[in-house]
Amino acid sequence: MRQRARRLSISLFLPMLVAVGVVQGRACGGAAYAGPLQAMIPERPAVNDSSSSAPERSAEENRETNSTMRRSGSKTLLGSIFGMKASAKDTEDGEEEGRLDPDRPHLPEASTTVGKGRVVLESGYTFTQNGSSLRSHTYPESLLRVGMFVDWFEFRIGQNFVSQEQTVAGVHGRENGAQDLYLGAKLALIGQRQYLPEIALIPQMTVPTGSRSATADRVLPGLNVDGGWQVIPGLFNIELLIATNQVRDDIHRSHLEVATGLTAVVQVTRDLEAFIEWDAFYSPGASGAARGARDYAVGGLVYFITKNLAVDVRAGVGLTKEANDFLAGTGFAVRY
């Protein structure tokens, strides 16, 4: 009888102890209460390991939190170097992978990288016309973006073909074939922090692998700086490009070209975004009329079929006499 009474008292006393522990955890807001599931099923160390004190559990949680912050901060180069705390956008993206952020069809590239172990393929077609003096078709405008080593580094390789008829100073010429191979890397420098934009650097070059009529016959290096602001998250963004590149001119010489692009992006629906941008190209090293600024107004749409697949269309007009009259294009981006 005494043994039965002792067993009965123990069986009644143990649930009371568990209930008291749960209530104390809720009241104190400590590590003993981490959510509904833990309240219903207490963690094994809290019940069976009496040697694990509250300060030790708190220190363990702090180490896990700091480790999470370091992983999020490593999405940018400066975050990796200085151990900077992750921005709100990085934290959101770390919890659940968002949709792809393609470089095309805007002139400013995405200020994000594809992420370690991910691959993005972009491709498209562009038609350009300038009165009767120029008609150009470029395709497939392929760009392969590969996330390597860390989240903030991306390797880039691209190839394009051109079919063009142009008249310069009364001389009619054709250009057909492969253009020079494009090689580059993108470094996600820093995430957006209040008024400081998200910034990415793209050191790049073309190497002389193209057909005789389309190659520059030399390596042409360059550097793009891309910035992005989420002005109203999920509704309105601004993108900026400042680029300096060596380019080939119409007489197969090379010169420095400075390009700027400013893009406003509006999220029309969850899967559809519209954009309008101003693009400008300056060639201080060119000769003759090519030195003038070439300004364009461009607008278009990007539709995300899934979070890993997007299609786009765009059209633009020249705003200065040195610019081409009209351009239009379409393309897609897919993430693997």
| The pLDDT of residue 5 is above 50 | no
Same domain for 186 and 42, yes or no, is: no
Measured N-to-C along each axis, helices 88-95 and 54-73 cross at an angle, to the nearest 10 degrees, of 100
pLDDT in tens, 155-213: 999 999 999 998 776 777 888 999 999 999 999 999 998 889 999 999 999 999 999 98
Residue 76 located in a structural domain: no
Q: 154-170: string of b/e by CB count within 10 Å (b at 16+)?
A: bbbebbbbbebeeeeee
State the SS3 of 73-84: HCCCHHHHHHCC
CA atoms lying within 13 Å on the CB side of residue 127: 5
Q: Total domain count for the chain?
A: 2
Q: Which of 20, 37, 52 is the last residue of a domain?
A: 52
User: What's the pLDDT at 67?
Assistant: 38
Same domain for 147 and 41, yes or no, is: no
265 beta partners: 237, 275
Residue 270 located in a structural domain: yes
How many other C-beta atoms can be found within 10 angstroms of the C-beta atom of residue 27? 10
Same domain for 23 and 160, yes or no, is: no
* CATH number, domain with residue 290: 2.40.160.40
**What residue numbers bound the domain in which 29 lies?**
2-52
Same domain for 43 and 116, yes or no, is: no
* pTM for the structure as a whole: 0.75
Confidence band of 286 (pLDDT split at 50, 70, 90): confident
| The pLDDT of residue 222 is above 60 | yes
